[in-house]
Amino acid sequence: MTSTLTPTTNPHWIGAAQAIAAADSILIVTHLHPDGDAIGSLLGLGNALRSLDPSKRIDLAVDEGVPSFLNFLTGVDTVQPVLTEGAWDLMISVDASDEARTGLVGAYGRAHSPVVINLDHHISNTMFGNIHLVIPTAVSATEVIFDLLDSMQLTIPSEVAIPLLTGLVTDTLGFRTSNTVPRTLEIAMRLMQAGASLREITARTLESMEYNAFNLWKQVFPSVILEDGVISAVVRLSDLAAVGATDPTDSGLSSFLAKINEAQVAIVFKETLEGQTSISMRAKYGYDVAGLALSLGGGGHKQAAGATLDAPIDQVRAQVIPLLKAIANGTP
């Protein structure tokens, strides 16, 4: 591969490449409730390192494993949902803005790896770990991985190109977010040339939804309120029980609500445990929910951010809705 797209100013690229070359065993982990970019990063980097040097041991792990809509990616069968044994020369965390986001597998990996590479694209990244490949202008963590592989002058096989394009497509909602720039499409072009089908990835991710997840939408639609530019929905444990769901993932309900013309921001409150609430926020172009997420102990991007709070769902609603109204009514 040529290295024309490689950012050459970041000394950490060289350190990362050296740490990877020196390690005989590498653990890669990603964030809780993984999305297309999390799993795309895990498998894109994992498959690349496995093909680079088959003698290295490359382990991949994420709490709760891979969501079923991403089962089409090569290597999903090698992803471990739990780690109880093993030690590695190097751990690489991908698409996680802080250590807590890497869950139990991340905690286990940190305790059993002397060096940690923190590879991410969240502006809210806490800069944990020893080597930082944190590029907030990257649209996805898979873009950072593309640059890393490019800086190592690696050829990209299709089993790497497909997961990398999956992260690019899902985190940009199909190249529609405001951070999508010509270079994003240039990288997508390179990945398509390497064998990734944009049509297949789009169909399997953005255009896919389990009927049971849709049943959860039907269940919670009566909770939807639009007030002062803020549209919100509430998902309680009782709603999950009513439709027989165990997974609090909302399958993009906040993104769907953010389409509503009269709303500037959208939020879904999810009761993840009794007394614990996670929020998923979306902002229209020109509005920014990242700062609010960060102030609540979470993180994300201007247009999509979230947090998990140890407080009951109604208390979180009372606290957060006024703050969102201020954002919705601020100057775009």
Q: How far is CA 302 from CA 132, 178, 312, in A?
A: 21, 9, 25
| Segment holding 307, helix H or strand E | strand 304-309
Cross-strand pairs, 152: none
Question: Which does residue 308 bind out of ligand 5GP, Mn ion, none, counting CB within 5 to 8 angstroms by kind?
Answer: ligand 5GP
For Mn ion, the nearest residue by Cβ is: 37
Among 139, 230, 292, 304, binds ligand 5GP (CB under 6 A): 304
Taking CB within 5 to 8 Å according to partner kind, which of ligand 5GP, Mn ion, none is near residue 61? none
Binding site partner of 301, from Mn ion, ligand 5GP, none, Cβ cut-off 5-8 A by kind: ligand 5GP
Q: How far is CA 265 from the centre of its chain?
A: 20
Judged by CB under 6 A, the residue of 36, 67, 109, 300 near ligand 5GP is 300
Q: What is the DSSP letter of 136?
A: T
Q: What residues does 119 pair with on adjacent strands?
A: 94, 133
Total binding residues toward ligand 5GP, as defined by CB under 6 A = 15
Nearer to ligand 5GP, 108 or 128 (CB): 128
Q: Tell whether residue 308 is a contact of ligand 5GP (CB under 6 A).
A: yes
The whole-angstrom distance between residue 176's C-alpha and the CA centroid of its chain comes to: 16
Q: Six-digit token pair at 274?
A: 């009794």
Q: Does 254 bind ligand 5GP (CB under 6 A)?
A: yes
Q: How far apart are CA 84 and CA 62, in angstroms?
A: 13
Out of ligand 5GP, Mn ion, none, what residue 254 binds, judged by CB under 5 to 8 A for its kind, is ligand 5GP
CB nearer to ligand 5GP: pick between 86 and 174: 174
Residue 280 binds ligand 5GP, judged by CB under 6 A: yes
- Pick the stretch among 65-73, 236-244, 295-303, 317-325 that binds ligand 5GP (CB under 6 A): 295-303
Binding mask 87-106 vs ligand 5GP (x if CB under 6 A, - otherwise)?
----------xx--x-----
Q: Please report, for residues 26, 109, 110, 328, the alpha-carbon distance to residue 14 in angstroms, rounded to integers and kept in the order given.
A: 17, 23, 22, 42
State how far the Cα of 284 lies from the Cα of 8, in Å rounded to an integer: 33
Give CA separation, 256 vs 137, 231, 261, 290, 316, in Å: 25, 11, 11, 18, 21
Q: Choose the contact partner of 239 out of ligand 5GP, Mn ion, none; CB within 5 to 8 A by kind.
A: none
Residues at the site binding Mn ion, with contacts judged by CB under 5 A: 37, 95, 141, 171
Q: Which stretches of the chain bind ligand 5GP, using CB under 6 A?
A: 97-98, 101, 254, 278, 280, 298-301, 304-308
